[in-house]
Each structure stands twice: as C-alpha cells, then as structure tokens.
Amino acid sequence: MTDQSEPGSLERLLRPLRRELSIELANALLRLQADGKMQARYEELADKNTENALSTEERAELESLVHVNSILTVLKAEARAFLERPEAA
C-alpha cells in the first residue's frame, strides 16, 4: 500500500516551480480552464469510455486529456500554495 501523504512524482517534479512564480502568473494559472469545445469533447470521450465504445485513437485522446488535466491540477495547486505565502501578498 502506498503512503497517500507522499507527494506524487509529478507534484515533486513541479514543486520547484513555486519559487519561480509571480503573482500574475499564479493568478493566470488559476484562471486556466478548457474551452467549451474541449470540455464537450472530453465529456463525449468519457461517455464512450463508460460504454466501453472507444476506438484506439479515441482512447489515446482521452488519456492525453486526462494527463494534461493532471498536470494542470498540480500547477494550480502550486499556484494556490504560492499565493497563500505571506510574502506573495
């Protein structure tokens, strides 16, 4: 069983970014989100995945979207942590 308190490798890799952030960049990262077209495509692929009806290409596309979302989630967490530091205020 893995220790859930241990940060994942992606988080450990991106954590040093926090030292390089500016308030403007941190806020810009927090505003990032998928546009309507990309969100609709993700939902379409997720639905097809639930139905076990993805083609090989669609599965790769869905995995890519999930991977990008994981990276963005970690970047946003680092941006939030940066903005919570007293010296960022």
pLDDT of 6: 52
pLDDT of 5: 46
pLDDT of 45: 98
Per DSSP, helices labelled H in 15-55 are 23-31, 36-50
User: Which residue ranges in the chain fall short of pLDDT 50?
Assistant: 1-5
pLDDT of 58: 98
pLDDT of 69: 92
pLDDT of 26: 94
pTM, rounded to two decimals: 0.74
> How crowded is residue 7: how many other Cβ atoms within 10 Å of its Cβ?
12
Domain ranges of the chain: 9-88
End-to-end Cα distance, the chain: 39
pLDDT of 9: 82
